[in-house]
Amino acid sequence: MRKVYLDYAATTPADPEVVQSMLPYFTYVFANPLSVHDFGRSAATAVDGARDTVARFLGAKPDEIVFTSGGTESNNAAIKGAAFAARGRGNHIITTTIEHRAILSPCVFLERQGFSVTRLPVDGSGMVDPDAVRKAITPQTILISVMHANNEIGTILPIAEIGGIARERGVLFHTDAVQTFGHIPVNADDLMVDLLSASAHKFYGPKGAGLLYIRKGSKIGRFMHGGSQEKNRRASTHNVPGIVGFAKAVEIAERGEAAEMQHLTRLRTKVIDGVLGKIRRAQLNGHPTERLPGNVNLSFRNVQGERLLRGLNAAGIGCSTGSACSASNTGPSHVLDAISGSLRLSLGKQVTEEDIDYVLDILPREVRMLRAVEQA
Ligand SMILES: *Cc1c(COP(=O)(O)O)cnc(C)c1O
């Protein structure tokens, strides 16, 4: 049976070149980068090189990059770090209803600590109105956090516009760019952000490696107390293999991003046109054009997402309803709670035209079968 992985938004396989680049740092260049001996200096050189690479990619300065364990840590650090650093100046945070749980959950935590949170709604295509952000700002507002692209429905949000508003009003602006970094252009100045989260495993890098970009001058509280790593901002011995692999994934994205965008957009169009052409009462969720090249999110009237997922899995197709995090929870996803039977097919480098042909063969059959069962 053909096996087709269509869950790249949940995680991607590490590129073999990434794995190769990491191997020496487990065994030969294994020392602690903080150690003053030559062994440690070699490891520190590798971390410095990786920092230069990711900083250049982001249009940032090397000392504006803090390496973390991934997107969740970066988001927590940004939200809590900004909030605690601004305590006394203001207590109001603006975000959206469609953020990843790694933003929503720290916001709930902060509410219990006395902060107040405005969660802006999105329109039917998952868009946030920049004007709504402008109107939500009060003298108490200390932070705005809006994701660059949504992980479930793939909508790309107007970050630069919101960033312009935040800057004009002197409010710190964070974006969760985990779904875009390494996939579409992400430049800190173009996006007008002060803080930005990225994660290596979402673009063919290793799991357990990420970054928080902190624009020079932005006030962020220390987010891991301990050693003096990362200029006292994030303690803990560097994950040197992870950091090296992260930088290698960035190098690969640098040279291949444009081609990947083209490849995925072509496949995405093929899936969407194929499904909408073959299946009645099917609907594309998210934005028609402002969407991640690899994201397809569909719903089918009278079909339960969970059942469809199981049927596809039995046919060798691995995809998800909403995000992996919400799929493992019982309740419906917070992004798509109004839509039943939503299916996310997220595409990546290894997906071929033949894989899509297979999906376009299986999916209509599964939907028809489930609808027949539903009616019986
Ligand atoms: C995956 C994801 C995260 C979490 O990143 P990890 O590196 O897995 O912690 C955060 N935000 C978004 C939008 C994501 O897709």
pLDDT digits (tens, 9 = 90+) for 250-268: 999 999 999 999 999 999 9
Could you write out the DSSP letters of every residue in 166-212?
HHHTT-EEEEE-TTTTTTS---TTTTT-SEEEEEGGGGTS-TT-EEE
Residue type, 191: L
What is the overall mean pLDDT for the chain?
94
The CATH code that applies to domain 4-12+257-375 is 3.90.1150.10
Spatial distance between the Cα atoms of 154 and 177, rounded to a whole number of angstroms? 12
Q: Which residues line ligand 1 (CB under 6 A)?
A: 70-72, 75, 100, 102, 147, 151, 176, 178-179, 199, 201-202, 210
- Segment 195-224 shows an average pLDDT of 96
Specify the pLDDT at position 335: 55
Q: pTM to 2 decimals?
A: 0.95
Lowest model confidence (mean pLDDT) among 12-26, 164-178, 214-228, 265-279:
214-228
Mutate to test the pocket of ligand 1, among 12, 79, 151 (most ligand atoms within 8 A of CB): 151
CA distances from 348 to 39, 186, 260, 275, 280 (A): 38, 18, 8, 18, 27
Tell me the angle at which helices 305-314 and 353-375 cross, rounded to the nearest 10 degrees: 130
Specify the pLDDT at position 223: 82
Spatial distance between the Cα atoms of 164 and 166, rounded to a whole number of angstroms? 5
Residue for token pair 């019982």: 330
Domain boundaries, the chain: 4-12+257-375, 16-252
May I ask the CATH architecture of the domain 16-252? 3-Layer(aba) Sandwich (3.40)
pLDDT digits (tens, 9 = 90+) for 57-112: 999 999 999 999 999 999 999 999 999 999 989 999 999 999 999 999 999 999 99
**What's the angle, vertex CA 150, arms to CA 149 and CA 155, rounded to 5?**
70
Could you write out the DSSP letters of every residue in 106-127?
HHHHHHHTT-EEEEE---TTSP
Name the residue with the closest Cα to ligand 1, atom 8: 71
Q: Using alpha carbons, select from 235, 177, 168 the residue that is nearest to residue 211.
A: 177
Spatial distance between the Cα atoms of 32 and 25, rounded to a whole number of angstroms? 11
